[in-house]
Amino acid sequence: MRKIFLLVLFVFFMLPHASSSRAADGLTLWIHPYLPATELIERFSPLAKYLSEKLNRPVSIRIQQSYQAHLDFVGRDQADLAYLGPVTYLHLTEQYGPRPLLAKLEVNGAPFFHWMIITRVDSGIHALKELAGKSFAFGDPNSTMAHIVPRAMLHSAGISVESLGKHDFLTSHHNVALGVLGGYFDAGAVKEEVYYEFEKNGLKMIAQSPPIPEHLFVARSSLPRELVEEIRLLLVTIDQSPDKDIILRSIKADITNLLPVNDRDYDTLRRLVQSLDL
């Protein structure tokens, strides 16, 4: 009877400790909610599996409820690993300070992209300064990139949002292209691949942004340096994995690699954002 009692005590005291140890060993990868949570979990699961196997510890995916919640959660150093858009990263460093950088995306062989201000070929509009009083279509209202970069481009030509005849958010780049082609808007802003997709249908570009660095992964400041270095190396050498294409294309079809990243990579975008005083 005494042996059974001691065994019960052992299980009672040791199990919480073991569970806590496993939780401490696990890592969380937090994603901003740019798609439904179920889809994001599916997209990032191959990457989480790759890291879990290489690190010999579980990596679980978590989705925040909003972009602001994601920014604040990462800023308070509560996310082990996080995936950020370029402008969110700038807000993070400005409001909360630097974070260990892990890797940035390479998309279609390039670590950056451009935004295009577009109109129809028969619109009679040839320059940004001619958009005063015209209608303008932005993309996703929840994406700071689809809002801030085009606004900065307009601002550089002396066009404020208030000086437009009207503006609206159409959720996707394809909707913007179709809205402009259909004559519902005089001009709009899309990423370059969407412009090239619809150019043959009658679009023309009147302005192109400077190179905008791609999305990136960061780590929490309190994560052990050796672990950060290990994760960084696993990400930037992912091209050596036989599952590279499955891992990357699951996140986004045109991702071709993960590359080393430096805060200086975002200086051009930083100046664009600062020009709007946002």
**Per-residue pLDDT tens listing for the chain (278 residues):** 444 433 333 333 333 333 333 334 799 999 999 889 999 999 999 999 999 999 999 999 999 998 899 999 999 999 999 999 998 999 999 999 999 999 999 998 988 988 999 999 999 999 999 999 999 999 877 676 788 889 989 998 999 999 999 999 998 899 999 999 999 999 999 988 899 999 999 999 999 998 889 999 999 999 999 999 999 999 999 999 999 999 999 999 999 999 999 999 999 888 888 877 65
Which element (helix H / strand E) includes 273? helix 267-275
- Predicted confidence at residue 275, as pLDDT, reads 76
Instruction: Return the half-sphere exposure (C-beta side, CA atoms, 13 A cut-off) of residue 190.
Output: 27
- Summarize the chain as % helix, strand, coil (round to 5): 50, 20, 30
d(CA 172, CA 152) in angstroms, rounded, equals 19
- Predicted confidence at residue 16, as pLDDT, reads 39
Bridge partners for 27 per DSSP: 59
This model's pTM is above 0.85: no
- Predicted confidence at residue 11, as pLDDT, reads 35
Residue-wise over 71-86: b if at least 16 C-beta within 10 A, else e? bbbbbeeebbbbbbbb
What are the structure tokens assigned to 252, written together? 């986004």
Structural domains of the chain, with CATH: 2-110+213-266 (3.40.190.10), 115-209 (3.40.190.10)
Which element (helix H / strand E) includes 243? none
DSSP 3-state of 147: helix
